[in-house]
Amino acid sequence: MAENTQTNTIINLLPPDLSKDEGLAKDVANGLSQYPKKLSSKFFYDARGSQLFQQIMELPEYYLTELEHEILERQRKEILFAFGTQSPFQLIDLGAGDALKTKLLIKELVQSETDFTFVPLDISKDQLQELLQELSQTYPDLKVTGLAAEYFQGLKWLNEHSTDRKLVLFLGSNIGNFVPSSAQQFLCQVRESLSPQDRFLLGVDLKKEPEKIRQAYDDAAGVTSAFNLNLLHRINQELQADFDLDKFQHFAEYDPIEGTMRSFIISKEDQEVQVQALNKTFHFDAWEAIHTENSYKYTLKQLKEMALHCGLRIEDVFTDASHGFADVLLKPV
Ligand SMILES: C[S@@+](CC[C@H](N)C(=O)[O-])C[C@H]1O[C@@H](n2cnc3c(N)ncnc32)[C@H](O)[C@@H]1O
């Protein structure tokens, strides 16, 4: 890491709290005024949302974490070998969350006394703070620079502040939360931030039995439902709204043609909700839906085409035993 970059600290590139609220306010004002109504999934992760997501990752139905964990557990040495860890580098984790799976790579790198800096990047500052605290206890000598930032704001900042090689991670099939045109754009933007010697490790949930996919987003214990409805709780808290969560329900469906898992919040009755901070009232018809999340599933062939379109070539593919999930190592061409 270049000398002018601080380690073991969080660098906050997010706008001040006031404008952060404006981000949510804008999303709510626009999203609930259109038809069909929608809210952005990026607002799921307040402190409570992040905790609920951690519970989701432990659910028996949520196979994604288990499969990707298996890949990183069993093939971490091969992944790091394919990247080549000889010179100092930055391990950049886009949307790090609790970095559950990244910690497997960190453990390996620490054990092999590799010179690297871990750069968790997340829009949730609470989540980053927790992660840094935990890492400083487990690995007091680990160099960590937390970036509280949006993905590309963070990557741009890193390019301006360091010339170290980069291994950029985007795990957990987060790419699936973008509609395909935005996923393509995302890959191209990551590509722009990479130098020829950098690599990009992308975690992708692959197309599989539709019912297995659906249950991962509609678990029997209702944790995913609580996670989805927490968006309304967040709006109540941050924008002084009066959503009655009992009058809404979670609904999730999978479209096997498009490979899209979609989540919705459904209004169980005809009702009005006031959002004081916006000075607005929103009407909901009975059974009207708010679209809250997309989770696209891909084939490796689709991924290869998308990557090539952006000047990225698949260098290696690491999959779990069932071939349900892939961590794909991409190289700029
Ligand atoms: C589903 S979690 C994934 C966590 C982890 N990477 C994994 O694979 O388990 C998504 C994380 O991305 C973060 N995130 C969502 N949108 C973001 C954005 N636009 N910029 C930066 N981080 C974002 C969230 O705060 C959350 O911690």
For 112-147, what is each residue's pLDDT tens digit? 999 999 999 998 888 899 999 999 999 999 999 999
Q: What is the pLDDT of residues 30-86, one digit of tens each?
A: 999 999 999 999 899 999 999 999 999 999 999 999 999 999 999 999 999 999 998
Matching residue, tokens 């951690």: 54
**DSSP assignment letter at 206:** B
From the list 172, 251, 211, 221, the residue with the least C-alpha distance to 55 is: 221
Q: What is the pLDDT of residues 170-198, one digit of tens each?
A: 999 999 999 999 999 999 999 999 999 99
Lowest mean pLDDT of 21-30, 137-146, 257-266, 268-277, name the range: 21-30
Going from the C-alpha of 249 to that of each of 265, 270, 290, 291, the distances in angstroms are 6, 13, 10, 12
Grade residue 238 by pLDDT with cuts at 50, 70 and 90. very high
Expressed in angstroms and rounded, the spacing between residue 146 Cα and the centre of ligand 1 is 13
Going from the C-alpha of 20 to that of each of 4, 15, 93, the distances in angstroms are 27, 6, 22
| Domain covering 59-208+299-332, topology | Rossmann fold (3.40.50)
* Residue with CA at minimum distance from ligand 1 atom 8: 172
Cα 160 to its chain centre, rounded Å, is 24
Grade residue 154 by pLDDT with cuts at 50, 70 and 90. very high
- Helix ranges, 122-262 (H): 125-138, 151-161, 180-192, 210-216, 223-239
- Identify which has the larger pLDDT, 7 or 47: 47
Ligand 1 atom nearest to 45, measured from its CA:
25
Domain boundaries, the chain: 37-58+210-296, 59-208+299-332
Q: Which two tokens stand for residue 191?
A: 């590509």
Annotate 20-63 with DSSP letters as a single string.
HHHHHHHHHHHHTTSSSEE--GGGG-SHHHHHHHHHHHTSSS-H
Expressed in angstroms and rounded, the spacing between residue 270 Cα and the centre of ligand 1 is 34
Instruction: Give residue 21's pLDDT.
Output: 53
Q: Which two tokens stand for residue 53?
A: 């997501």
